[in-house]
Chains A and B, each alone.
Chain A
Amino acid sequence: MSKSLSNNIRKLRFEADEMSQQTLADKVGVTRQTIFAIEKDKYSPSLEVAFKISNVFKTPLEDVFTYE
């Protein structure tokens, strides 16, 4: 069975006071559509963007993204 990348961004946004996709996108420096695509597992971000997302939520990278 092939492994795939999944994420908890939707949950983390909810816990961060219902942060909008646009706010997260602005903080990370990508478009809202890219955040949407990452959330829906339609795009695997670069390491740089992945670290930026985890920095926004002040969470370790492995709590944001899982590979299984």
Chain B
Amino acid sequence: MSMSYKEKSLIASMGVTLLLFGWYFYGAFSNLSLNQEPQLSTIIVLIVLVIISEGIIQSFVALKNKSLLEDERDKLIERISYRYSYGFLSVCIWFLMVQILLDTWFDNHLILTTPFGIFHFLLLFFVLSEVIRFGTQLYYYRKGI
């Protein structure tokens, strides 16, 4: 079975997200700089890079496909993937909230609950929830619903 426009578009988006945010998180977590202030310029460059890369790749994918039609199956798969993504993000937010509560009991000794630690983990959870959204859509396109 050949891939539809939606599948190609999803693979492209997932690739861009993993590559660019992977690069950012590698830098943020590899030297345990969670206490350091996130470089605003790095984040702006990252967001601009994601927008430009997405624009170029999606235009290329759209040019290569005759039909850009989105039908009821696409919408159903998208709805299911949002449910998984939302579930994951909710669990992560609760996890962070519990960490913040625990931190107050342990006299602010948890690295995760420093303001910049929370920033990095929140960004990581948002990116992971996006990856889950792309991944579940691709899974249901292949497996069927």
| A residues neighboring B (CB under 8 Å) | 29-34, 36-37, 40-43, 45-46, 48-49
CA distance A43 to B143 in the complex (A): 10
Are B74 and A42 in contact (CB-based, < 8 A)?
no
Are B72 and A46 in contact (CB-based, < 8 A)?
yes
A31-B67, A37-B144 are contacts. A43–B1 as well, Cβ < 8 Å?
A: no
In the complex, the number of residue pairs spanning A and B with C-beta atoms less than 8 Å apart equals: 42
Cβ of B136 to closest chain A Cβ, rounded Å: 16
Instruction: Output the residue of B1, B73, B74, B145 with the most chain A CB within 10 A.
Output: B73
Q: List 24 A-B contacts (CB under 8 A).
A: A30-B69, A30-B71, A31-B4, A31-B5, A31-B6, A31-B71, A31-B73, A31-B74, A32-B4, A32-B67, A33-B2, A33-B4, A33-B73, A33-B141, A34-B72, A34-B74, A36-B1, A40-B144, A42-B145, A43-B144, A43-B145, A45-B72, A45-B73, A46-B72
Are A34 and B71 in contact (CB-based, < 8 A)?
yes
Q: Which residues of chain A are within 8 angstroms of B1 by Cβ–Cβ distance?
A: 33, 36
CA distance A41 to B6 in the complex (A): 20
Q: Which residues of chain A are within 8 angstroms of B74 by Cβ–Cβ distance?
A: 31, 34
| B residues neighboring A (CB under 8 Å) | 1-2, 4-7, 67, 69, 71-74, 141, 143-145
Q: Which residues of chain A are within 8 angstroms of B73 by Cβ–Cβ distance?
A: 30-31, 33-34, 37, 43, 45
The residue on A at minimum CB distance from B5 is: A31
Instruction: Output the residue of A32, A33, A34, A40 with the most chain B CB within 10 A.
Output: A33
Q: Which residues of chain B are within 8 angstroms of A31 by Cβ–Cβ distance?
A: 4-6, 67, 69, 71, 73-74
Q: Which residues of chain B are within 8 angstroms of A41 by Cβ–Cβ distance?
A: 144
Instruction: Output the residue of A34, A41, A45 with the most chain B CB within 10 A.
Output: A34
Are B72 and A30 in contact (CB-based, < 8 A)?
yes
